[in-house]
Amino acid sequence: MINYKKEIAVLLSEKIETLSYEEILSLVEHPKNTEMGDYAFPCFKLAKAFKKSPNVIAEELANTLPQTEWLESIVAISGFLNFTVDASHFAKNVIVAVLDQTSNYGKSEVGAGKKTIIEYSSVNIAKPFHMGHIRSTMIGESLHRIYKFLGYDTVAINHLGDYGTQFGKLIVAYKLWGDKATIESDPIPELLKIYVKFHQEAETNPSLEDEARAWFTKLENEDEEAVALWTLFKDMSLKVFNRVYEKLGVTFDSYAGESFYSDKMPGIVNELREKKLVEKSEGAEIVNLEPYGLIPALITKKDGSSLYLTRDLAAAKYRKETYNFDKNIYVVGSAQKLHFQQWIKIVELMGYDWYKDCIHVDFGMVALEEGSLSTRKGNVVFLEDVLDKAVVQTQAIIEEKNPNLENKALVAKQIGIGAVIFQELYTSRNKDYTFDLEKTLSFEGETGPYVQYTHARACSVLRKVETIDLSVADFSVLADEASKDVVRTLSKFNEVVVLAHKNYEPHTIARYAIDLAQGFNRFYHDHAILVDDAKVMHARIALVKAVKITLQNALSLICLEAPEKM
């Protein structure tokens, strides 16, 4: 497939000596108004070196650049050099590439030979997998897929919250009010119930907090009963969590949580002491980060116990030594921004240059009309309940609109769960949003079901044709605006994927999927596809198949299935 941006950069580099090929390539863009052309090059950066106005430079370049078989025109407009690609060449070049590469279309080797760690989801043992966890889980899983798609050697880590004083509280609660058989029958709600009861009782009986701390100390000292109860809570929780992950299509390479690093924390604390980075403060140990515009970071409490920050330092060092990562990504909410700024700065102060490869991918909050997601108060909305409700409502829609559909239960699952995921990833990660199930399940508008239905529509057309003969196809019939708009969008897929990975932003691909679906539906509305003229029919059906393939690839990167019938 000819990369027109690169070809344009080559043409320009022969005329522009003040910028490198890479600099020129980075400046080639897509005009917002397609009437201006398919690609544009701004001449403003050249004004100082050329000692001419951008308008004059653009005019001179337009008159001196050589014509090629794939270029229809080069026009200077308001300081920009605008390039219009021959529509027939454009369509054939892009469509043939998509049909040839199929599931590999959009891939590249941007990440070849590079190791990337992505930590996401990181749910807490014995606590609900609630709706608030969907952001880290799905943003992380999508980034995992995007990075793999671009050739990175990726490691997906679920840094389980399986350590800390809350386990002392849970052990006390279990011993006072827990029933093993009842909890095993429905682990998370029952564990949540006794955990909430602990906090209610502790308000009038503060000695419970002392008991909880004592039990956590026992756990740290590997007391047999404490470890047995902790293991029970963890095993029951993972059974439930993995059921949710399976529904979401989420997988991990490692479940090494906080407890995994418990024996590695003393080494980190000693290293900080040896490098004279810690100081005493009211009996605790801190790293003073005020000279760097940050508040002091607590390393150990008065009683010598560790904190989240200490464990994250230990985890980062272990990952560097174990995986030798090129990039270590943490998909964690924006509320933890200070925490990441602190420990990454400490890694830098420890003398490790890989601190700059540790990236905090933060995100906003998801809200629900049901109210707070606070685990302590017990007001939670379980993610699995939301997914199941979405599937049930989708089944009802299918029964109404297409009761004879094959595999209705499977399709309802693909659409219902996909709809929830799509609404999550369609929202730019830095924005807060309110989850709306009715809007999410709509087959109209900018939703997952709309994109999936467009894919199914393309599949329906393709089922009516036995073969596609590209040798017969006349790609010049795809020169109208609706057809060329689809071709342009198809051509941008790899650029979009690379941009999504660069900005850690799956929203970019979700937005692209909507754009492609909308463009295809305009094309589908404007043109008859299964016409008698074989030249026209094979060109249009080839475009349909290219859209089908690219939509499926895009949906896969944002963790959605692509049903062929709906």
Which of the residues are catalytic?
127, 130, 133
Of 295, 300, 296, give the one whose Cα is nearest residue 265.
Answer: 300
Query: At a CB cut-off of 8 Å and minimum separation 6, what does 290 contact?
Result: 296
Instruction: Report how far residue 222's alpha carbon sits from residue 96's, in angstroms, rounded to the nearest whole number.
Output: 62
Element (H, E) at 73: strand 71-77
Strands (E) across 413-514 are located at 433-434
User: Can you tell me whether residue 83 is helix, strand or coil?
Assistant: strand
Residue 283, C-beta contacts closer than 8 angstroms, at least 6 positions apart: 302
The Cα–Cα gap between 115 and 107 comes to: 17
The answer to whether the CB of 199 falls within 8 A of the CB of 271 is: no
The Cα–Cα gap between 100 and 419 comes to: 30
CB 457 within 8 A of CB 463: no
* Crossing angle for the helix pair 408-426 and 134-149, to the nearest 10 degrees: 90
Instruction: Please say whether the beta carbons of 294 and 338 come within 8 A.
Output: yes
Sequence-ordered alpha helix ranges (H) in 350-447: 383-401, 408-426, 437-440
CB atoms within 10 A of CB 553: 23
Packing angle between helix 481-491 and helix 87-101, nearest 10 degrees? 50
Task: Give 447: exposed, middle or buried? Use CB within 10 Å, 0-12, 13-18, 19+.
Answer: buried
367 phi, psi to nearest 5 deg? -115, 155
Specify whether the CB–CB gap between 298 and 286 falls below 8 A. Answer: yes
Coil/strand/helix, residue 121: coil
Contact predicate 102/60, CB 8 Å: no
